[in-house]
Amino acid sequence: MDVEGEFLLPAPPGDVWRSLNDPEVLVRCIPGCQRMTRIDAENFECEILLSYGPIKATFMTVLVLSNVRAPDSYTLTGRSQGGLSGVGEGVADVWLMSVHSGTSLRYAARLSASGRIARIGARWLNGATRRMTEKFFNAFAATFGEG
């Protein structure tokens, strides 16, 4: 599944960059995130409780930053394992650009799932993923005083 979008955030790119790399901010914004730990400059581990239709599972997730060009762009690669519920993997390119009202954050992601979570159907999974993305960005924008 391919997902892309753009969100306008009411903060300068440097502030957005710092928040995108701050586990305390991210744990509050990622739907279902129970904990997030920064392992080093490029690696995070997190635990995310997800509900997709009839499936509710905790996914242990590893996130890796690469192609880092602070504070303009990076590539985020993730792999989530939810036991019998399945595995999710994805790669997202993220770009920040200064605009008159703050920062434009654009992203393009390629996501895949296997196991029980993939069997619920691509159409339903696409919709759920888009809703989760919107929830993340609404919460993330609110950290800058607007939402």
Q: Architecture of domain 2-142 in CATH? A: 2-Layer Sandwich (3.30)
Question: Rounded distance, CA 31 to CA 18, Å?
Answer: 20
* CA–centroid distance for 77 within its chain: 10
Over residues 128-144, mean pLDDT: 93
pTM above threshold 0.85: yes
Cα–Cα distance between 27 and 93 in angstroms, integer?
A: 20
Q: Give the pLDDT confidence of 30-86 residue by residue, as tens digits.
A: 999 999 999 999 999 999 998 877 778 999 999 999 999 999 999 999 999 999 889
How big, in percent rounded to 5, are the helix, strand and coil portions of the chain? 30, 50, 20
pLDDT at site 147: 41
Give me the percent of the chain exceeding a pLDDT of 90. Answer: 78
